[in-house]
Structure 1
């Protein structure tokens, strides 16, 4: 009798343990069990009405796993075998890619190499050779005064930068006066004279000078000499036969003071100074 009681107690304990396991399993797998019962219409298949708590059951939303740095979705490519498409959203910008790290290291190495190079070598690499400036030769007319006070014409050749306005540049070079290489040369054009404009039409060069050009104040020969300097310099160009003088944009008959005047109402050519 005692042995039967022990077997009965052991059997009851096993049933209780099994019941506990089933209860624990039920609570762990409750969502899966309810979901399967609802999705498979289990109760309707066996001819019973689906319980209300099963009908109203909602599946819990699954959370997307993320490491907080990079969410990656891998989708098989439709065109290539074995290809994948990665859609990545970077949430942490503090981490640099290996390619960026390599570029940064390379830039640091280049800066270190530049510092290690001699200063002369670095300067030579950065220095650009200046482009040669195209030059053109022009003839300028200056004068010289001999011991008898006679004005003598002197033509000198000079190199000036080449441009699309050679006549303008030649006259401006003349107004700047003789240089150290122009021996025994002087200019009787009043200091401060500026060329305000120049044009050529039908062989006549119209040259517009500032008011300083109008007053020489030395002598009649000096007035003729300053006009001669302009005419001989301008007529060095094949397109110029004569020069019409303007003062501050105005065409005047005479220039100079009332006591000492010279005619400039018509163009001057080289023949006027023979």
Structure 2
């Protein structure tokens, strides 16, 4: 796929998987719109991408949990005379710990960012793509979306929503020229894993953010509805194969090893 002359909008672009998407797409010739809360960090990244790859790199500093955030981003992009050909919904964070110990406001914010903002941004940009008969959406979900995730209950449920939503849109828009792909990473070497304190036994399953991005783009270009980067990570989607009781027991054991049975809610602010 030739990305030259196209524009990609990446949310959560200030670091981790989002920054890696921006880097890879700019390297392939796409202009980029970088969206996150940190204007200063985004400006530095935009300047580097423009210098290194000669692409247009725009910054839209926005808190996607705010009211009408998606409409604000859409209108700002239009005001700058740009149209989005690829929407990368990467912004999100995960809460870790016992559900009843995590502040309800934090869970609300998590759902707003991981689910509501993703849906509203897709609703804002996808109709234009459909009208043009080309474009696409890459939604960053997680292997946590394949089964319930004790100690990360809201995060796992949010990612299950993203996975189901993406697959439904893939079916709706199949043959229209608009591609929709859900990316379901396992452990990735970003601040997310560091913040949650992932122990050494998981190290062999870790992928780098650039690896995840290259795998995601390859799947997107092939028109796949779902991709799980890494053979071991793909196997961790065990929730599709085991009885529910067994799935819950195994998920509780594995996630409990990561966050601990009495994990502090202070661990609950780790972005992708």
TM-score normalised over the length of structure 1? 0.24
Q: Larger C-alpha radius of gyration, 1 or 2?
A: 1
Greater fraction of residues in strand: 1
TM-score normalised by structure 2 residue count: 0.24
Q: Which structure exhibits the higher relative contact order, with contacts defined as CA atoms closer than 8 Å and separated by 6 or more residues?
A: 2
